[in-house]
Amino acid sequence: MKPLVSQLWPQFMADPDFAACFGQVIVEHARMLRQDRQVEFTLRSAAPLDQNLCARLLASLQPDYEGFELKIKNLFGYTMLDEHALRTLLEDMKRDGVPINGFLDRSSITITGQNITVGVCHGTKFLQEMGFEELHAKRIAEHTGVTPKVTLQSAVTAAEQQQMEEKLERKIAPPVVKFEKKNTAPSIKVEGLNLTDKPVTIFHGKMFTPKNLTPLKDLGGEGGKCMIWGDVFFTEVKGNYRKIYTVSITDYTGSINLKVRAQEGEDCSKWEGIGKGSTVIVRGDCSYDKYERQGVSASEMEKVRKSAREKLDSVSGKLTLNNNAAKTSGRNYTAKDFHIGDRVKVLSMNLEGTVHSLPDSKGNLSVTMGILNSQVNIKDVIILEDNNKASVKKGMGGSGAIKASKTFTLSSEINLIGMTVDEAIAHLDKYLDDAYLSHIPSVRIVHGKGSGALRNAVQNHLKRQKYIKSYRLGTFGEGDAGVTIAEFK
């Protein structure tokens, strides 16, 4: 059974104009034309619908179909066809591109059974040559199911001309007024939260009843499914192919980052506009992101990188050991003394870091210092005694937010095997952002050979990244066609 308009959109029934016009109107079907960005609702009524009220209905529904043009196609009985309904159909033909502008503005219309006569002042021959009579009859049949005989007649009286001019003056319609909508959003009472009685707004997802809220300080590294609340204090957007919206919240016992990954074609831009201080209640999965620099925003990372660059600029020439540094080191190291992950101090920069690659034949090795990655010689470093692997610890700061203390070392390789294309691109996009900020010169992307779909998706994604200088398939010993090597600018 097809629904009534009043059943499909009951929120507007409080408006008496809506109830009177659409109370008994049937919704035949709705079509979404994605390429044309249009949505068409086909409504069946006994008599032609009031166009002003149809415009109000479309204006009221527009927020739910952002980015689409809304249209109503009205089906009604032929016996209810009158001059006003015919002129409405003529206006529809104009909007659809039929070139009848000007020719029918002062026309007269006579309806006798299934015979319709249209009297025009000028342009009769042109209208007949373009097949207006057949087009108009076909348009009437689309709305009423009856195909009448339409005849053009070149005649108009002075009285009819004056009448048409008066109707044209009345065509200037007042601004459209939206139907008033009932606010039916429920109030939420949560034990332990001082929330007002104001109805809540569903910002994202579906309505649910919050219960058993977990304090943020009690969430572990892999917290699993949980229900939490918090006030927004920071928002950020990352990524290019599919944006990742980060919203930081706190319940004043701890803090956490909410991550929303936009699906293909999905508009999640509203997350950028969520205001600081907004209270949100969230139900979802909690997990530790190994690529996330906890407690550090992009702007703060840029400050750290700038500070490191200033220290680099203070060193003239290449980063080689001077005589004083040689005396400070106290001993001469060999390549066998170094292991990946060892904590070292770079003397010429006075910075501590982690060994990222072993020394080559010339004694040069890669050291990661925070977000900075640099090539130094073994003569320019001291191996620190404390080389215990750093672990992530949670502790309360003065503001009650969770702090993460860890050594962040980003791998120069990411493995995407076993993921779908969508999952792989989302992980790769996040990884490339982190690798670029960490100044890793090149990365190894493992996608496997298989059908080649994942490899093609990876390389198409790399093409769109402005910070990628070049990419190529792996050579013998690097993984061949199952690996792509990407180099940053």
* 3-state secondary structure labels for all residues of 207-221: CCCCCCCCCHHHCCC
Q: Longest C-alpha distance within the chain, in Å?
A: 113
Residue 447 has a pLDDT of 87
Residue-level pLDDT at 310: 54
71: CB partners within 8 A, 6+ apart: 38, 39, 40, 41, 58
Question: Cα-flanking dihedrals φ and ψ of residue 317, to 5°?
Answer: 70, -160
Q: State the Cα–Cα distance between residues 242 and 147, nearest whole angstrom.
A: 51
274-306 b/e with 16+ CB inside 10 Å = b?
A: beeeebebbeeebeeeeeebbeeeeeeeeeebe
Tokens of 55: 């415009």
367-379: string of b/e by CB count within 10 Å (b at 16+)? bbbbbbbbebbbe
What is the value of pTM for the model shown?
Answer: 0.34
pLDDT at 245: 80
At position 37, the amino acid (one-letter code) is R
The continuous run of DSSP H or E covering 308 comes out as helix 298-313
pLDDT for residue 397: 32
- Report which residue type is found at 121: C
pLDDT at 94: 84
What are the E-state strand segments in 317-441?
Answer: 343-346, 351-357, 364-369, 372-377, 381-383, 393-396, 402-405, 413-415
User: 417: which DSSP letter?
Assistant: T
- pLDDT (tens place) for every residue of the chain, 489 residues total: 788 888 888 888 888 888 889 888 999 988 888 888 889 999 999 889 988 899 999 999 888 888 889 999 999 999 888 888 888 888 888 888 888 877 777 788 889 999 999 888 777 777 888 888 999 999 999 999 899 999 988 765 666 656 655 665 565 556 667 776 665 556 666 666 666 666 667 777 777 777 778 887 777 655 567 888 888 888 887 766 667 788 888 877 777 888 877 666 677 777 777 888 788 888 877 765 544 433 334 444 445 445 544 544 443 333 333 333 333 444 678 888 888 778 888 887 777 888 888 888 888 888 877 656 678 888 888 888 755 433 333 332 322 222 333 334 577 888 888 888 888 888 898 888 888 877 788 899 988 888 888 999 999 999 988 888 999 988 877 778 889 999 988
For 233-265, letters b (16+ CB in 10 Å) and e give eebeeebebbbbbbbbbbbeebbbebbbbbeee
pLDDT of residue 198: 63
Per-residue pLDDT at 196: 60
